[in-house]
Amino acid sequence: MRPVAPLLRLTIALSTLCLLATGSIANAQQLGAMKAAAAGSGSSSNSDSSRSTSKRKYSRDDEHDCDDDVAMTGLTELSNKVILAALSSPFTIPRAVVTDADWNAIEFPVFPYSEDRTSPLGDLFGDTEPSDWQTVLRGQYGDDFDGLSHASGRLLLDNWTRFGIDTEFFYRHEDLPASGSDQLWTGDANIVYTFAKGELGQFRTGIGVNWLAGAGQSDSGFNFTYGGELYPAEPFVITGDIDWGRIGDASLFHGRANIGITRNGWGLFTGYDYFSIGKTDLHSWINGFELRF
């Protein structure tokens, strides 16, 4: 446990640099701008401006060189293979890293790094052996050091079929420049599939819905989620997630990266959280805890 303090100091320093690098992180009424974007009442776009199209005429030779055709065919096949490899790499690389060799049913340890130890937490919940189910509860607090903060909770529920549930909520609070404050609730709910699982970590992806609520307003939209966690060396855990989709009339993107420690099912983590609706971005340094059973 002695390396934890230097790790946390390094993470805090890197998180602070990330926040400073974004410039002025929280302008006035960020949450209000997000609500307006989701409701479709943000700034006007260029969709009403006139657009002119021109047709281009190409002259083609009636005769083609056979060698050129063969070369172009080979180049096209190579390009298709490169594109396919690039598109599949977010799934093939994690499977190779955690050495998931098949698509069979999976089981979950009581907690990471539990192969050679007995868990007091496992005794508490009556689960001391690998299980067909895994539940992870996480809570976090985030702050941008400029009047905007959030608190959130998350539930991950996985089972032996590789299908599961990933859902979370955020309560966001903003201090307004003149006086008063603003609040906003956001979150998502997803059906996920664990496509990579091994002793070194696990990764999942899925689809679901985003939602937003605040001051008599509610909006929702489609969500795609992708994320996972790695267990590089006891007791450390590295996690990362992205959510990408729509909320009302606006685009939504949420990215998060954490590093933490886990012991007997309990964990602490710190990291960086980025949340965007439309053209409004929120950056936060986050700290949180987790419980696995």
Domain ranges within the chain, ordered by starting residue: 4-21+105-292
- pLDDT at position 39 over 80: yes
Average pLDDT over residues 103-112: 88
Q: What is the pLDDT of residue 56?
A: 43
Q: What is the pLDDT of residue 111?
A: 82
pTM score, two decimals?
0.77
- pLDDT at position 278 over 90: yes
CA distance 131 to 262: 18
Q: pLDDT tens for residues 258-276?
A: 999 998 889 999 999 999 9
Q: Which residue has the higher pLDDT, 42 or 114?
A: 114
Strand partners, 18: none
Tokens 């989709």 sit on residue: 245
CA distance 45 to 52: 17
Average pLDDT over residues 19-43: 67
Average pLDDT over residues 115-133: 62
What are the backbone angles phi and psi of residue 110, rounded to the nearest 5°? -60, -40
Q: What length is written for the chain?
A: 293
CA distance 253 to 226: 12
Tokens 């007995």 sit on residue: 118
Question: Is the bond preceding 232 in cis, omega lying within 30 degrees of 0?
Answer: no
- pLDDT at position 51 over 50: no
4-21+105-292: which CATH architecture?
Answer: Beta Barrel (2.40)
Q: What is the pLDDT of residue 59?
A: 45
Exposure string for 138-170, b = 16+ CB within 10 A, e = fewer = bebebbbeebbbbebebebebbeebebbbbbbb
Q: What is the pLDDT of residue 11?
A: 55
Q: How many CA atoms lie within 13 A of 51 on its CB side?
A: 4
